[in-house]
Structure 1
Amino acid sequence: MKKTVLIVMTLLLGNISIWAQSKTRDSINNLLKNTPQFSIFKDNYFITGVSLNEPSGSNNSDAKLQISIKERITNATLPFDTFLYFTYTQKLFWDVYSDSSPFSDSNYNPTLGIGKFYLNKHKLLNLVGIGIEHESNGKDSIDSRSWNKLSFYYRMALPASTTISINAWIPFAYKSDNPDLMKYMGYFEANLTKKSRNGRFIVEITTKKGASWDKKGSLQTQLYYRIGKRNNQYLSLQHYTGYAESLLHYSEKTNSIRFGIVLRPSNFFLHE
């Protein structure tokens, strides 16, 4: 009798586990199928401001723009329920207040990667990914800056609309243009994002630590206020201090504050 009960319980628990895994897989597949394959990747923004290192004026005031898109090439149909994606991010620094209004630097960052969503114990959606990235500024001669990396990404969703992200990388093919780049860029980036209960306010902190024993690295703090109740448009205040804000001047420390409008991507928080 005890053996029979044990066998029945084992089969029952096994069926529940298989059903739960299937339910999780179906939920994620349905989420991917019901969301656009082409979408915003990182923040898209136009912000403008001044350097805090010296009195404000046309020589140290600029605009900073970012365009970032994502194409999910497949749904979770690859082995281990992974999906293939392509992203492209372009960041521009525009001396809009000077006479000729030139773009002082443009950074181009395409990525091809494989990602996987999975539910955590809070029934919130986590993401892991691995990708091949290239970043350069399109200039030649002594102003040329470029590097490549194998990147590893992990985003963990927590209760109360909080996420923690870690992006680590192995750089390669960069020493000809900028051999000391890692001293300022480091080998990882950490991000903490916290939303208010009503979703109108967001605080985001992003930090890098350079690969040296000194204080090289960067800290970016950004505050967001959503303009409407049901859209992705925000007013935003961004403060950046540290190195490698742009590739051209990666070895120069900056301390700037900018304000403008941001289009944020949708974050996946899946509840069942």
Structure 2
Amino acid sequence: MKHILVLIFLVLSAIASKIDSKKGIEVESYDITNISDEVSKKSMQRWLNEDFGLMPHKANYLLPMGYRSGGDYKSYVPTDNYKSTESEIQVSLKLYLGTNFLGFDESYYLAYSHLAFWQTYAESSPFRETNYTPEAFVEFPIKNEDSYFNLKSVKAGIAHTSNGQGSNEGVDYIDPSKNPGNRSRNINLLYTELSFQHETLLAELRLSVPLPGTANDDDNPDIMDYLGYTSIKFNYFLGEHMFTLMARGNVVTGYGAVESTYSYPLIDDAYFYTKIFCGYGESLIDYNNNITKFSIGFSFSR
């Protein structure tokens, strides 16, 4: 019960912060109207209104309840005792760097995504897996209104994803049952993405390849067999409802995944959010495990 209360508190705090952010400077207790030095006044104004220029990248969500069918998650040592029910959190932000360096009205960004799987219903409530993804990309706008599905932009980027675990190769364990195995996972990708639009239906077609020289990483040399090189994602808006459907895979091995989400606004930028995942690559540690999971909670961007 205490874990549920903590999650409810986090959700309510996030909603409250969204409400306060709409009020802007009115929620501040500082008064700068009578400051005579204009430079100092502008400096304070920037400080009071500072948002770091950060924007949502992927969906930001808190899913207190997620259930995996078919059994519990793998426990790497006997004391882990992971459950099939857990919580999931994603924070994903991007920073605009500039535009039009090449003369094509292109925009440059840095982004960071933090995805955590939290065993809130297990003893001691450990974080089972956390994935960290910094990336950099450039997006070129395309003016095309002649097709049923209009090409709107072309994106190219580089991304690194890791679970932050160190390799334990060469480590001797007195008790072999305490050896969790090598849990280090990472991948470096180059990608290009085409974005299309037909009214309220959006489509994103992506091609990803390992960064040259990193494809045979000893931690997970076969990861692309399961994640695949291509993916397609649809976003569909129907009134205030939003539906997404993503599919990715490797046509040679036949492995891949499908993910579907649904969201509906509750208040300001807080949404009811559900997610269904089926396939490989839910997280890096489970890239080669077939997982079917239903999650429900809240999102704070779409």
The answer to whether the Cα contact below 8 Å between 1:116 and 1:127 also exists between their aligned partners in 2 is yes
Distance 1:237 1:113 in 2: 28
Mean CA deviation greater in 201-210 or 77-86: 77-86
Corresponding position of 1:213 = 253
For 1:250, what is the secondary structure of its paired residue?
coil
Corresponding position of 2:191 = 151
Distance 1:213 1:180 in 2: 11
TM-score w.r.t. structure 1 length?
0.76
Corresponding position of 2:224 = 182
The answer to whether the Cα contact below 8 Å between 1:238 and 1:257 also exists between their aligned partners in 2 is yes
Matched, 1:116 2:140: yes
Distance 1:186 1:125 in 2: 23
Spell out, residue by residue over 1:181-236, the C-alpha distance to the aligned partner (whole angstroms, 9 max, x if none).
Answer: 0110000111011110x2x111100111135333x1100011111114xx332101
Q: Cα offset for 1:37?
A: 4.3
Corresponding position of 2:165 = 139
Aligned residues: 224
What is the letter of the counterpart of residue 250 of structure 2?
A: G
The answer to whether the Cα contact below 8 Å between 2:225 and 2:253 also exists between their aligned partners in 1 is no
TM-score w.r.t. structure 2 length?
0.69
How large is the RMSD of aligned CA atoms in angstroms? 2.3
Distance 2:160 2:134 in 1: 6
Match for 2:104 among 71, 74, 80? 80
Distance 2:140 2:165 in 1: 35
Spell out, residue by residue over 1:19-55, the C-alpha distance to the aligned partner (whole angstroms, 9 max, x if none).
Answer: xxxxxxxxxxxxxxxxx94201110001122112249
Corresponding position of 1:129 = 155
The answer to whether the Cα contact below 8 Å between 2:113 and 2:132 also exists between their aligned partners in 1 is yes
Match for 2:56 among 14, 35, 40? 40
Q: Cα offset for 1:238?
A: 0.6
Q: Cα offset for 1:109?
A: 0.8
Following TM superposition, the consecutive aligned residue runs of length 4 or more in structure 1 with deviations greater than 4 angstroms are 122-125
Mean CA deviation greater in 187-196 or 171-180: 171-180
Distance 2:299 2:276 in 1: 14
For 2:145, what is the secondary structure of its paired residue?
coil
Gaps of 5+ in 1: 1-35, 266-272
Gaps of 5+ in 2: 1-51, 73-81, 168-181
Distance 2:138 2:300 in 1: 25
Distance 1:157 1:37 in 2: 26
The 5-angstrom pairing of residues 225-240 of structure 1 reads 225-228=264-267, 231-240=268-277
The 5-angstrom pairing of residues 247-262 of structure 1 reads 247-262=284-299
For 1:120, what is the secondary structure of its paired residue?
coil
Corresponding position of 2:282 = 245
Q: Cα offset for 1:130?
A: 0.6
Corresponding position of 1:33 = none
Distance 1:171 1:143 in 2: 20
Q: Percent identity?
A: 25
Distance 2:301 2:146 in 1: 24
Match for 2:204 among 139, 146, 165? 165
What is the letter of the counterpart of residue 94 of structure 1?
A: W
What is the letter of the counterpart of residue 150 of structure 1?
A: L
Distance 1:169 1:248 in 2: 19
Mean CA deviation greater in 86-95 or 36-45: 36-45
